[in-house]
Amino acid sequence: MSNHGLLPPFGEASGPPMADVDVVLAFVQGQPAGHSDRFHLEGSVIVAGFDLAMGMRIGMDTVLVRLDVPPDAEDHKRMIEEVLAGQGMTLLDEQTVLGVPVAVQWLALRASTWDLWGRDIDESFAALRTAAVGDPFGSPIGE
């Protein structure tokens, strides 16, 4: 498994069973997690079901949340957003342009849209730029 995203075979949840909210909290906090009926973590990515990437943790306090989810995953997205808000994060940029190159690199998703969530706008945009184009002075989050 890559620290950045999904590698085949997709959707192999690991760890002990947990409540949905506990998996989302572990994702936001960058902690190891088990899996729930809805979610599991693959590196810095939270996945719904077996293969629907719902969010990418791109910085210590910065998350990209997938905007273009199917109707049956809207409640999953809402739960993630509620947990983010409960952890002091806010929606900083809707349909953020640099979300697409991050999704291409981390998940091989070319046709997806993402919202940027974080605690500090400057730190979050710095994390977004680093995730999109790399950081010559450091390693990616989670390594």
110 pLDDT band, cuts 50/70/90, is: confident
**Which pLDDT score, from 0 to 100, does residue 10 have?**
53
State how far the alpha carbon of 126 is from the alpha carbons of 50, 72, 139, in Å: 31, 33, 14
| Banded pLDDT at 49 (limits 50, 70, 90) | confident
